[in-house]
Chains A and B, each alone.
Chain A
């Protein structure tokens, strides 16, 4: 069964601290699937899962190719692949990096917007450069929900600023507010 809602999250420099602040907010009955793209060095990302699990009551996994997307799960994009949403499952590609990034936040966000339309929330967190801006715009065009971390609070404000420039209507929130928003997400 498809989860009723997808929350897609993009983060780069400063991501780990931001995620460790957000993940404890997720309740056991979290009604959506949370999918995270994080820019990391090629071989590093695998060590992240045990770390993030400490802060999260939900399962945190790297999905396999064509794996069904389930509510109440946190999915991480592994390094060196693009992760896409395709219908009710995940898909991968090793197409060239976009904006120097593989995984690319834009590719995840755009594919999620196309597959889930209004039932997507896109969140752009701290990071360098501007990956995520185009993807957030795609989510807005499909009438999904768009949230951006308050740049003043972000370790690297460049990415949230670029997202806000692309989607001026996105809600600016602190990490605490984003956490509250996630914890009260209902069907």
Chain B
């Protein structure tokens, strides 16, 4: 019985949030959205999704906390080292001749994968001529990314993944260790622009040579995925590269011939027309 009530409450809550605050979760994939909303209800000690709705409609601080928790995902530096290896091998040689590189990291969360890419570009001699636009819909998360401060405890795993990603230096060269935390080297973020952007409701804002959007679309339903992939296509220069997460796929039925597959496993595509 409780389950049926939740199935009524979740669509009402996201509709209410959309009308009140303009954040659009209506086409998010429902299974994960429901889990996250339940977790918020628990953490914020509400008795039901409906009582969360009552509060979130009236209280902007509550909405901000909702936003942080409903979009939180847990990524890591050099997540899927195999991807970075493949990127070094297949994409980097095709970027070497470009005088400048505009890169969009869409849905950058707390920034781990952005720093990973910056390190890779640095090692390949491409960072100086790159401008990386790292965007996320949540400003609080962006602030974490911008600070570039991460837990020291994670560095052991990150170092391992950095090494298997084809890293050319010692990973410890890229951060300064402090009390339980590390801070990423500032020159890595010199060419990074951190900006708020909502893939669901905002338009294309530039034309890019590389778009990285890994494990972001999994949180959207099929309809929204198609819409956002259209946005990514429109934001990609001809000859530019699109990278999705390992379990994701291109959904552009109208554009299928517009991309060629550079690496099927790591989901690296090139826009050819």
Write the residues of chain A forming the contact surface with B, with a CB cutoff of 8 angstroms: 42-43, 62-66, 78, 80-82, 84-87, 91-97, 102, 107, 111, 114-115
Contacts and interface: CB of A to CB of B under 8 A. Distances in A.
Q: Interface size class for chain B?
A: 20 to 34
Contacts of A87: 30
Given A65-B218, A85-B31, A102-B74, 12 more contacts: A42-B161, A63-B247, A64-B249, A65-B249, A66-B221, A78-B246, A86-B30, A87-B30, A91-B29, A95-B32, A95-B35, A111-B31
B11 interface: no
Interface stretch (B78-86, B128-136, B146-154, B188-196): B78-86
B217 interface: yes
Contact of A64 (B72, B81, B219, B248): B248
Question: DSSP majority for the A interface?
Answer: loop
Interface in B176-224: 215, 217-219, 221-222
Nearest to A97: B74
A71 B82 CA distance: 31
A107 B35 contact: yes
Interface string B72-114: 1111000111100000000000000000000000000000000
Contacts of B35: 93, 95, 107, 111
Nearest to B75: A94
Contacts, number: 71
Contacts of B31: 84-86, 91, 111, 114-115
Given A43-B164, A64-B248, A78-B247, A95 B218 contact: no
Contact of B73 (A42, A78, A86, A93): A93
Contact of A96 (B74, B82, B246, B248): B74
Contacts of A111: 31, 35
A95 B248 CA distance: 16
Most buried by B among A43, A87, A93, A94: A94
A66 B225 contact: yes
A73 B41 CA distance: 36
Interface string B33-71: 011100000000000000000000000000000000000
B134 to A, nearest CB: 17
Contact of B219 (A62, A63, A93, A102): A93
